[in-house]
Chains A and B, each alone.
Chain A
Amino acid sequence: MVNGSATPSIEFRSMSRLFGETRAVDQLSFKVYPGEVFGFIGPNGAGKTTSMRILATLDQPSRGDAFVDGLSVVDDPDRVRRRLGFMPDQFGSYSNVTCEEYLDFFARSYGIKGADRRKCLREVMAFTQLDRIAQKPMKGLSKGMKQRLCLSRTLIHNPSVMILDEPAAGLDPRARIELRDMIVALAEMGKTLLISSHILSELAEVCHRVGIIEHGQLLAVGTVEEILQGQTDSSGQSEVARRSTVKISVVQDVQQCVDFLATSHNIEPIKVTDRSVTIPISDDVAEQADLLAELVHAGIRVSSFQTKQRSLEEAFLHVTQGRVQ
């Protein structure tokens, strides 16, 4: 799937994009390898769409360059377009055109002719389950159907690299799950995908690696695990050992529990609520069991002991918190 020695399918090389005085993208550099699903996350206005538009040969970088399969998006945009599929966040529709005619038009635009085109249309519509509404006019399609149609258009020339900008935005849970399944299926076919989304839990499920961008600067890149490992707490101490949290509920005096944790284990920070405390803890299950045993042994009546792993959302919040002003 991911091959570090191969030519990257996508590469940003010190790429910047300036709009007047505003730096929409600032010295962006990272690589995505063939067959990889890469999540591109960041708050609104972080520079995700700008980067993706440049990669899709819709815009030019002010400095640096971006490459698709080793081909420059600035110098060889026509060659890049042959192997790239771009699904923008806005759906462009035509009046008086059915879904099939829409896809047929784009297939023709990519130079696919005759029987090839018809087969292409059939396969793509079957994959995105649009075959039942093939003869329906585009205007009036639901958001979910429009996204399917947009994905079909992106797939019509069988690109090896796909860029999906906010593909799940505005979809209901069912449509979102179906879209996620399609993305997984595409990844299994060996396509390289660069996906931006605000729904981080879904990205974490389908992406091999993620990049976090804010104010045009790339703050972190790697697997979710690597990003979590790369975090440090306020004292500069690595949080590798304690990236989960545990919520301990007690029957009687919560202060006794707090004192025990603070004095015997030097744990901080300790968040105290009514009859429970929340503390950071290692992912090591044995260590968690030992702590529970010690609490019970110390006479603290524990009513519940719930561990929770830190997620991509927390990593995102932590990484993007005031790092760039």
Chain B
Amino acid sequence: MTNQEKDTASSAEKIENEVDEISIFSAGSLGGDTSVAEDVDLRIAVEKDGRLDPFLDTASDRFSSILVKETRQATKSRHFVWTFFATIIITLIVTFVGLSDRASGDLGQSLLMGYLVALGLPLMIIVPISTFQSLSAEHGDGTLQLISITTMKPSEIVVGKLCSSFLQILIYMSVLAPCVTFTFLLRGVDVFQIILSLVCAFGLSASLCCLGLAMGSISNTRIISAGMQLVFVLVLLAFAWSWCFMAYGLAQEFGGFPAEAYFWISSWACGVLSTALLLLVAATAQITFDSENRASYLRIAMLVQQTLFIAFMIGITGVGAGRTDMLLFMLIHLHYWLLMGSLMTMTSHRLSNRVRRSMPRTVLGRAFGGLLIPGPGRGFLFAWTNGIFGIAVVIVLLLSTPNGTLNLEALVLSSFYFSMFLSCCYIFNQFIRGCSPHAPIWIGFLGLGIVMFLPTVFVAVIEAFDYRGRYFDSGLLVYSNWYAALGRTEIMAGWSQNSGRNSMEWVGYWTVALTAFLTTGYALLSACREFSVTTLATPAHVLEEDRDHARRDPLGRKEETIDDIFA
């Protein structure tokens, strides 16, 4: 027996042993003609043919199945090939045109800008669209339901698709990598500039992919999918257009940015990435089974944004933002919680047994996880607490910085309006939920619209017809409009302190405060009823099933509880 024959025999024996150990189908296999000899022949053939494929096959076990599938699909698709070659051609055109125009002083900057603009096509349009389509097509083709009933988690599906998009982004970026490196050798470009440009391109494209996934997850019918696609394409075109200006800005900033610019760039990056995270979690929640806990991770993503907002507010006190800027950011913060609150208060108050089993049992979990449990009341409390906490932090921050930018009156008044509108929205949404238990969650926006914007529109109409200023200028009607009332406080703050307030204004303030106290008190009492729901024990046979499964698959997926988040 030659050495080669010995090796083959040893390999065959090894594989045969391996096959014996594996028992996929229990007693009585599927009955197909799958003899061990055939298997051995196949494996030996594979080994002889090459080592790359088996290596990749084994290595791919470490990655998400969705990532493997999406990458296979994407790299074989026609649009990938076309885009790939289009990017190469555009890059070559930019290079030749750039090099032929030697008159310009900083050739490196011109070329870098051209390459960054060329990246805009695949990164800002093609990859996000294909990400959107990868999820919406799963809805349309009915394959999402096939994936949903596997043991894969919804988060794995979404993250797998996102990772596939990342891979595509990296492939497209690698096309331009030699050219971008080449610009460094020319005048007017430094390494930091190149790295920052590429990081910005990657970050923006990845965030757009997250938006695509979020929009794709709600495209569950052909009509909605078509509408979403149209809206998404318009959004992408707008971003691609903006990217051209960003590319110009990034290419021109040789030698670094002004000190303040770093703060604004990092704030912008944090805002975009945290919003991308929220969208990603929202997409996951959208494809999660109804009885599962879909709220906790969404609320954690909101908490991340809240933390970033507070950090941002601390930062802008340092860069000396004006009073109007502070008030504007505070309003954006409160409107964020109003919008999120309107959705959270529209959820069903019925907790599934599944969720009740996952409720916190540890001290830490009970202390901090109570508001992460699904439910409209807890959602209201979560939004309200965060909104008020944000205002409180900003007030403390402003009081501790002696730069005179505080308009305390506006902040306190805003907190009253915020509480009043959020409470009314909660009460209204509960009424809607009572009338129609299966109403979609987005109807919550309607509740917010009715309680908040209708009075605003009403006042605007009155104002339009109030030629003599009898009602608007001096009446109480103005206090039904948050923005008008804030505008008045700003005007008053700008006047001499000696001018004082008239009695009507004090009545207006107290009316708003009293309404806020009454509605918020009622809403808080109503929301607290949800805390009477008790934790449910996991049935013994389910625990036994889990133990049995853990024995067979020690690394297998396990049911998550809210305590796990704090573990």
CB-contacts of A100-129 with B (<8 A): 101, 105-106, 108-120, 122-129
Q: Could you tell me if B22 and A116 are in contact, using CB atoms closer than 8 angstroms?
A: yes
Is A119 touching B31 in the complex (CB atoms < 8 A)?
no
Contact between A75 and B352 (Cβ–Cβ < 8 Å)? Answer: yes
Contacts of A120 in B (CB 8 A): 24
- Which residues from chain A contact B101 at a C-beta distance below 8 Å? none
The reply on B25 being an interface residue by CB < 8 A is: yes
Q: B466 to chain A: closest CB distance in Å? A: 46
Least Cβ–Cβ distance between B528 and chain A, in angstroms: 26
Q: Is A271 an interface residue, CB under 8 A from the partner?
A: no
CA A108 to CA B62, docked complex, whole Å: 10
Determine whether the beta carbon of A114 is less than 8 Å from that of B58. yes
**Least Cβ distance of B357 to chain A in Å?**
8
Tell me, in angstroms, the Cα distance from A75 to B26 when the chains sit together. Answer: 28
B28 in complex: contacting residue of A92, A94, A110, A190, CB < 8 Å: A190
Contact mask for chain A residues 171-194; partner B; CB cutoff 8 A; 1 contact, 0 none:
000000000000001001110000
Q: Are A88 and B354 in contact (CB under 8 A)?
A: no
- Residues of A128-143 whose CB lies within 8 A of B: 128-129, 131
Contacts of A124 in B (CB 8 A): 30, 32
Would you give the 0/1 interface string for B1-37, flagging 1 where the beta carbon is closer than 8 Å to chain A?
Answer: 0000000000000000011001011111111111000
| Interface residue count on the A side (C-beta < 8 Å) | 60
For B290, the chain A residues whose CB sits under 8 A away are 60
**Residue B545 interfacial (CB < 8 Å):** yes
Q: Looking at the complex, which of A77-85, A202-210, A255-263, A275-283 is the stretch in contact with chain B?
A: A77-85
Interface string of B120-154 (1 = CB under 8 A from A): 00000000000000000000011101111111100
Q: Which residue of B lies closest to A109 (CB)?
A: B150
- B32 with A127: CB separation less than 8 A: yes
Identify which of A57, A93, A126, A131 contacts B289 (C-beta below 8 A): A57
**Given A60-B290, A78-B559, A123-B34 in contact, is the A94-B147 Cβ separation under 8 Å?**
no
CA A79 to CA B149, docked complex, whole Å: 10
Q: Does residue B556 face the partner (Cβ distance < 8 Å to A)?
A: yes
- Expressed in whole angstroms, the Cα–Cα distance for A105 and B22 within the complex equals 20
Q: How far is the CA of A126 from the CA of B22 in the complex (A)?
A: 17
B72 within 8 A of A: yes
Choose from A75, A81, A101, A129 the contact partner of B150 (Cβ within 8 Å). A81
Q: Is B529 an interface residue (CB 8 A)?
A: no
CB of B253 to closest CB in A, whole Å: 42
A92 and B22 form a contact (CB under 8 A): no
From residue B208, how far is it (CB to closest CB) to chain A in Å? Answer: 23
Known A-B contacts A123-B29, A185-B31; A79 and B545 likewise in contact (beta carbons under 8 Å): yes
**CB-CB contacts below 8 Å: B492-540 with A:** none
B61 interface residue, CB < 8 Å from A?
yes
A190 to B546 CA separation, bound complex (whole angstroms): 23
A126 to chain B, nearest CB (A): 2
Residues of chain B with a CB closer than 8 A to A153's CB: 146
**A92 and B72 in contact (CB under 8 A), knowing A111-B151, A123-B25, A123-B30?**
no
Q: Please provide the chain A residues from 46 to 91 with a CB less than 8 Å away from any CB of chain B in the complex.
A: 56-58, 60, 70-72, 74-79, 81-82, 84, 86, 88, 90-91
- Contact (A88, B22) CB under 8 Å given A79-B542, A155-B30: no
Q: Tell me if A81 and B353 are in contact (CB < 8 A).
A: no
Given contacts A57-B289, A125-B32, contact A90 B142 (CB under 8 A): yes
Q: Hey, what's the 0/1 contact readout for B528-567 against A, CB within 8 Å counting as 1?
A: 0000000000000110011001000100110100000000
Residues of B within 8 A of A188 (CB): 28
CB distance from A72 to the nearest CB of B (A): 8
Contact assessment for A94 and B149 in the assembled complex, using a CB-CB cutoff below 8 Å: no
> Which residue from B291, B541, B549 sits with its C-beta under 8 Å from A60?
B291
Chain B residues with Cβ below 8 Å from A105 are 65, 68-69
B32 near A126 with CB under 8 A, answer yes
CA distance A124 to B72 in the complex (A): 22
Pair A115/B22 contact, Cβ less than 8 Å: yes
Query: Inside 8 A of B72's CB, which chain A residues have their CB?
Result: 96-97, 101
What residues of B have a CB within 8 angstroms of the CB of A190 in the complex?
Answer: 27-28
B61: chain A residues at CB < 8 Å are 108, 113-114, 117
Q: Which residues of B contact A245 (CB under 8 A)?
A: none
Closest approach, in angstroms, between the C-beta of B449 and any C-beta of chain A?
25
B470 at the interface (CB under 8 A from A): no
A116 to chain B, nearest CB (A): 6
Name the interface residues of B36-92: CB closer than 8 Å to any CB of A.
39, 42, 57-58, 60-61, 65-66, 68-69, 72-73, 76-77
Contact of A106 among B22, B28, B42, B150 (CB under 8 A): B150
Q: Which residues of A contact B353 (CB under 8 A)?
A: 72, 74-75
Measured CA separation A82–B541 after assembly (Å): 15
Question: Any chain B CB within 8 A of the CB of A95?
Answer: yes
Question: When chains A and B are docked, how far (Å) is the Cα of A36 from the Cα of B69?
Answer: 35
Is the C-beta of A158 less than 8 angstroms from some C-beta in chain B?
Answer: yes
B146 adjacent to A76 (CB under 8 Å): no
Cβ of B167 to closest chain A Cβ, rounded Å? 16
Establish whether residues B541 and A96, one from each chain, have CB atoms under 8 Å apart when the complex forms.
Answer: no
Given known contacts A71-B545, A120-B24, A109 and B151 CB-to-CB distance under 8 angstroms: yes
What is the interface of chain B, defined by CB distance below 8 A to chain A? 18-19, 22, 24-34, 39, 42, 57-58, 60-61, 65-66, 68-69, 72-73, 76-77, 141-143, 145-152, 289-292, 352-354, 357, 438, 541-542, 545-546, 549, 553, 556-557, 559
Q: Across the A-B interface, give the 7 residue pairs with the lowest CB-CB distance, nearest first.
A: A126-B32, A108-B65, A92-B143, A127-B30, A109-B150, A127-B32, A92-B142
Residues of A within 8 A of B (CB): 20, 56-58, 60, 70-72, 74-79, 81-82, 84, 86, 88, 90-97, 101, 105-106, 108-120, 122-129, 131, 153, 155, 157-158, 185, 188-190
List 8 additional contacts besides A95-B77, A119-B39, A123-B30; criterion CB under 8 Å. Answer: A72-B353, A77-B291, A94-B73, A96-B73, A108-B68, A119-B34, A122-B39, A157-B151
A selection of 22 A-B contacts at a CB cut-off of 8 Å is A57-B289, A70-B541, A74-B352, A76-B354, A77-B289, A78-B557, A79-B545, A82-B151, A95-B73, A96-B73, A97-B69, A101-B72, A110-B152, A111-B553, A114-B58, A119-B19, A127-B30, A127-B31, A157-B150, A185-B30, A189-B27, A189-B31
